[in-house]
Chain A
């Protein structure tokens, strides 16, 4: 891969996905694109990129983009967040929505572990929830929807008891049980696009996503999250993330890392 190829990849990722492909990921990019080139029938990465630059083919472009996104995730990543959700938020929300479903959105769910972790927490609380989980990567969403995980993936973040309770063994993989899978609706969605549906959510999880975005896109995505959240709703960002300095839409909750509520100024604006 030439430096020019990498420049053009950076532009492709930034314009289509808002994703910031930093220069230190050049080797990683080359490594990840090898299998894509083979799968798409090219001799090597250079040949694939040359074709893409000559004649932008949408499907090839997205295959390249998906391979370069950061899909790192695991079950109950940052367990304190899930403890707060399960022990504090879930009971409060269920009480606040008598007879109604609590609506959760996992934005940037990657291969599904976060959504299933939320579904487990909700079902173990006997809470009536509806979980929508979206990601930009079609491949990641397909895997999430299948609910199939390797032994490596299933063990990262889940106890053996939880695994046995909520997953069934399928040869050397583990598949989310039907009651778990029916709690989550997986959809491919780009946060840069206008949402197809504007029904609001009670809690939004958008963790470890904003920090991978081009700074110019962060405010826009945060704005969309704010609009999709009910006035007394909660937003979880990654534990080391915060809304940008000029965002007045969200206020951190003291002592709960990564948890935000709508700021009064945002509420006034909405009113």
Chain B
């Protein structure tokens, strides 16, 4: 079976690096994008299984990316996990109603990402 793929979309190289290490540890093949346009271009080539998505980014933000992704052919398939410093309840609700499968508040750690990946069914996990 082909390995599961995860696209990490964040304008911070450091966050991408930290998240990559954790997500690779969960058994995913990881690619990176620095903004919504790069991410959309990537998805039009091949849909990843999971997208870990920052909100505030230059060029195209996470919410605009998510709405466009869901309109693409096959764009409903990826599990999208928002991952943002935005922690207000109403903003989290907005992201979920725009089509995010779950939401990670920054800062996060490996245990939180592990639990969120299991929550959306991206990994089989006893925990």
Q: Which residues of A contact B (CB under 8 A)?
A: 74, 77-80, 151-152, 155-161, 164, 168-169, 172, 239, 257
The reply to whether the CB of B102 lies closer than 8 angstroms to some CB of chain A is: yes
Instruction: Determine how close the nearest CB of chain B comes to the CB of A169; give it in whole angstroms.
Output: 5
Judging by beta carbons under 8 Å apart, are B119 and A159 in contact? yes
Using Cβ atoms and an 8 Å threshold, which residues of chain A touch B87? 151, 169, 172
Partner of A155, one of B100, B104, B118: B104
A156-B96 contact, Cβ under 8 Å, with A78-B127, A169-B89 = no
Quick one: given A152-B109, A155-B108, A155-B112, are A78 and B92 in contact (CB under 8 Å)? Answer: no
Since A164-B92, A172-B87 are in contact, a sample of 19 more A-B pairs with Cβ atoms closer than 8 Å, ordered by chain A residue number, is A74-B111, A77-B127, A78-B127, A151-B105, A152-B107, A155-B104, A155-B105, A155-B116, A156-B111, A156-B115, A157-B115, A159-B119, A160-B96, A160-B103, A164-B89, A164-B93, A164-B96, A169-B87, A169-B88
Q: Which of B88, B107, B112, B118 makes the CB contact (< 8 A) with A79? A: B118
Q: Is the CB of A239 within 8 A of B126?
A: yes
Chain B residues with CB below 8 A from A156, complex form? 111-112, 115
Shortest distance from the beta carbon of B16 to any chain A beta carbon, whole Å: 20
The 8 A CB mask of B72-111 against A (1 = contact, 0 = none) is: 0000000000000001110011001000101111011101
Enumerate chain B residues within 8 angstroms of A77, measured Cβ to Cβ. Answer: 127
A152 touches B112 (CB 8 A): yes
Indicate if the CB atoms of B92 and A160 lie closer than 8 Å. yes
Shortest Cβ-Cβ A-B pairs, 9 listed? A160-B103, A169-B89, A155-B112, A159-B119, A151-B105, A160-B102, A157-B115, A156-B115, A159-B102
B35-52 Cβ-contact flags toward A at 8 Å (1 or 0):
000000000000000000
| Inter-chain contact B119/A78, CB cutoff 8 Å | no
Q: How far is the CB of A126 from chain B (nearest CB, A)?
A: 23
In the complex, what residue of chain B is closest to A154 when comparing beta carbons? B105
A-B residue pairs in contact (CB < 8 Å), sample of 24: A74-B111, A79-B118, A79-B125, A79-B126, A80-B126, A152-B109, A152-B112, A155-B104, A155-B105, A155-B112, A156-B112, A156-B115, A158-B119, A159-B102, A159-B119, A159-B120, A160-B96, A160-B100, A160-B102, A160-B103, A161-B96, A161-B102, A164-B89, A164-B92
Which of chain A's residues have a CB closer than 8 A to the CB of B126? 78-80, 239, 257
- Residue in B closest to A172 when the chains form the complex, CB atoms: B87
Distance of A144 from chain B, by nearest CB (Å)? 20
Give chain A residues whose Cβ lies under 8 Å from the Cβ of B116: 155, 159
Q: Which residue of chain A has its CB nearest to the CB of B103?
A: A160
A151 to chain B, nearest CB (A): 5
- Closest residue of chain A to B106 (Cβ to Cβ) is A151
